[in-house]
Amino acid sequence: MAIVDYIFQTSTSVFLLWTLLVLLLVYLALSFVPPQEDQKGPPGPRPLPLLGNLLQLDLKRPYETLLKFSRKYGSVFTVYFGPKKVVVLVGYQAVKEALVNRAEEFGERDLTPILEESSKGHGILWSNGDSWREMRRFGEATFREFLADKKAWEDKIIDETQHLIKVFRKFKGQAFDTNQPMNYAISNIICSMVYGSRFQYDDPEFISLVERIYVPIELTGSPSLQLYNLFPCIGPLVPNKTRFLQLSMISQKKNLEIFRHLKETLNPEKCRGFADKYLLHQQQLEASGITNIHFHIDNLAMTVIHLFAAATNASSASLKWGLLFMAKYPEIQDQVREELTRVAGSRQVQEEDRKNLPFTNAVIHEVQRFASIIPISIPRKTSQDVTFQGHFIKKGTAVYPLLTSVLLDETEWERPQSFYPAHFLDNDGNFVKRDAFLPFSAGQRACLGEGLARVKLFIIFSTLLQHFRFTPPPGVSEDELDLTPVAGVTLIPSQDISAVPVSD
């Protein structure tokens, strides 16, 4: 076990450690004056030397502390994560102005040491400059093609949902943890999208692939890696760092093996998925004599790793929360099931049914809003000196858009602290879009696969509600269901539920 992880898990050690640090630094803290540039910047709590505001932060749920800070310091404020200066954006207006209206100025990605070391500037999620622009442009064009052939991808999602239904049925109405089966189903859909084929759930290669997706995400949220990112000098004391990099290296190696096989069987007339598209584009560039230093195999491998990490984690978490909320709010579940029965009956729900299922659509959107799965958007960085809402922010400053503050903004939502599907319905029961609905972030760095993600969520959620009634475990009431998320980069429910079959 990592020393720092042990420290964080041992309350006595935590107390002694922080007491010693406070006694050591209190004198310096009283005389500490932030650099002159910070005095011109957004306000914020006074930082300690070296530790910054760490003593004031809930490291398991930093977004909660940041929300509290915003009540005192406003929608744009400064906080120090150790020695690292961060500008936090709170509320719909501030986040929209930065990410949409001023996308270029707030458009760079702020890299943490562990992600910089693993990505090496490749891929689409943790890259900047020309490489990012090339991968983003290619990714957007490819996903537009996929959405144009919506029926083919819809059929893949429906097929995977049938496999998921079989897994749920095996529990015969007994309580179970939805995490693993949901992770498998979503990961398999991404496999179909990227590689052109799915895996059996008991395939050792597939089990290993899913582990390499989700374990690094869990490790990223661990106290030890958070501290390593703030103080890289402690790297030798952090086994989680070694494990993270090992999993990243294995993922790259496995992907390179798959790409070699795909390249041997490429057929320009029959593109199997994202990897085929990339390899064919690479061949076309070479055949045309065009030199593009960014279209290389390592960039493809890292882009695929990023697609898996982003697409599977967010979609899987959204569906887990959706089923838990249905168990928590049975009257809402009844309304969804009634609408599904009235519109689709026993037939398979299709994407085209969405327009006739406004309440179901509203519930899915409210799940994403209320669960606030990614409370802090993937960190940005200013590309130049910026004056923002009257505050000076220096070039290269890390910026954390607080997405949970947008989804819970009291000026944008009628009942932000309640699960209230009517947020997305007008007085006649028709579905309405809301500007402050930004679970996929916004601007030029918004989720690349947002369109396909919406199709996935709609079909899987609707189909599961056609086949099962979701309830609390035996002996647990709706009021006793635990909605406390597992702490981490992504908020995931930990509560088991029951899936009671209602049709064959």
8 A C-beta contact, residue 361 and residue 458? yes
Give the helix/strand (H/E) hosting 175: strand 175-176
Both 8 and 44 in a single domain? Answer: no
Residues 250-309 pLDDT 10s: 999 999 999 999 999 999 888 899 999 999 999 998 888 877 789 999 999 999 999 888
8 A C-beta contact, residue 281 and residue 266? no
Please check the confidence at residue 32 and state whether its pLDDT lies above 70: no
How far is 433 from 74, CA to CA, in rounded Å? 27
Both 27 and 121 in a single domain? Answer: no
Span 66-93, average pLDDT: 96
pLDDT value for 149: 84
Both 27 and 127 in a single domain? Answer: no
Please check the confidence at residue 90 and state whether its pLDDT lies above 90: yes
pLDDT value for 60: 83
Mean residue pLDDT of the chain comes to 89
Please check the confidence at residue 459 and state whether its pLDDT lies above 90: yes
- What DSSP character marks residue 48? B
Both 19 and 55 in a single domain? Answer: no
Residues 403-428 pLDDT 10s: 999 999 999 999 999 999 999 999 99
Please check the confidence at residue 6 and state whether its pLDDT lies above 70: no
Q: Hey, which of 34-38, 138-142, 413-417 has the most confident mean pLDDT?
A: 413-417
pLDDT value for 251: 94
Q: Residue 399 pairs with which residues in a beta bridge?
A: 87, 380
Range in 71-75, 405-409, 487-491 the model is least confident about = 487-491
Domain range enclosing 178? 34-501
Please check the confidence at residue 23 and state whether its pLDDT lies above 80: no
Please check the confidence at residue 138 and state whether its pLDDT lies above 90: yes
pLDDT band for position 3 (cuts 50, 70, 90): very low
Both 60 and 27 in a single domain? Answer: no
Both 8 and 101 in a single domain? Answer: no
Phi/psi for 63 (5° steps) reads -60, -30
Span 117-136, average pLDDT: 91
Residues 338-389 pLDDT 10s: 999 999 999 999 999 999 999 999 999 999 999 999 999 989 999 999 999 9
Residue percentage of the chain with pLDDT more than 70:
92
8 A C-beta contact, residue 168 and residue 468? yes
Residue percentage of the chain with pLDDT more than 90:
72
Nearest to 98 by CA among 114, 85, 87, 112: 87
Name the amino acid, one letter, at 318.
S
pLDDT band for position 39 (cuts 50, 70, 90): low
- Give the burial string for 134-146 (b: 16+ CB within 10 Å, else e): bbbebbeebbeeb
8 A C-beta contact, residue 153 and residue 271? no
pLDDT value for 10: 39
Residues 181-200 pLDDT 10s: 999 999 999 999 999 999 99
Both 171 and 23 in a single domain? Answer: no
Please check the confidence at residue 27 and state whether its pLDDT lies above 90: no
191 known ligand binder: no
Residues 208-249 pLDDT 10s: 999 999 899 888 888 888 889 999 988 888 889 999 999 999
pLDDT value for 237: 87
Please check the confidence at residue 473 and state whether its pLDDT lies above 70: yes
Both 20 and 149 in a single domain? Answer: no
pLDDT band for position 17 (cuts 50, 70, 90): very low
Structure tokens at 189: 């859909």
Both 147 and 89 in a single domain? Answer: yes
8 A C-beta contact, residue 119 and residue 378? no
Residue 67, burial from CB neighbour count under 10 angstroms (0-12, 13-18, 19+): middle
pLDDT band for position 34 (cuts 50, 70, 90): low
Both 176 and 64 in a single domain? Answer: yes
Q: Residue 263 pairs with which residues in a beta bridge?
A: none
Both 7 and 153 in a single domain? Answer: no
Both 9 and 71 in a single domain? Answer: no
Q: What is the CATH number of the domain that holds 267?
A: 1.10.630.10
Structural domain count of the chain: 2
Q: Which residues contact 301 (CB under 8 A, 6 or more apart)?
A: 122, 251, 252, 255, 256, 259
pLDDT band for position 503 (cuts 50, 70, 90): low
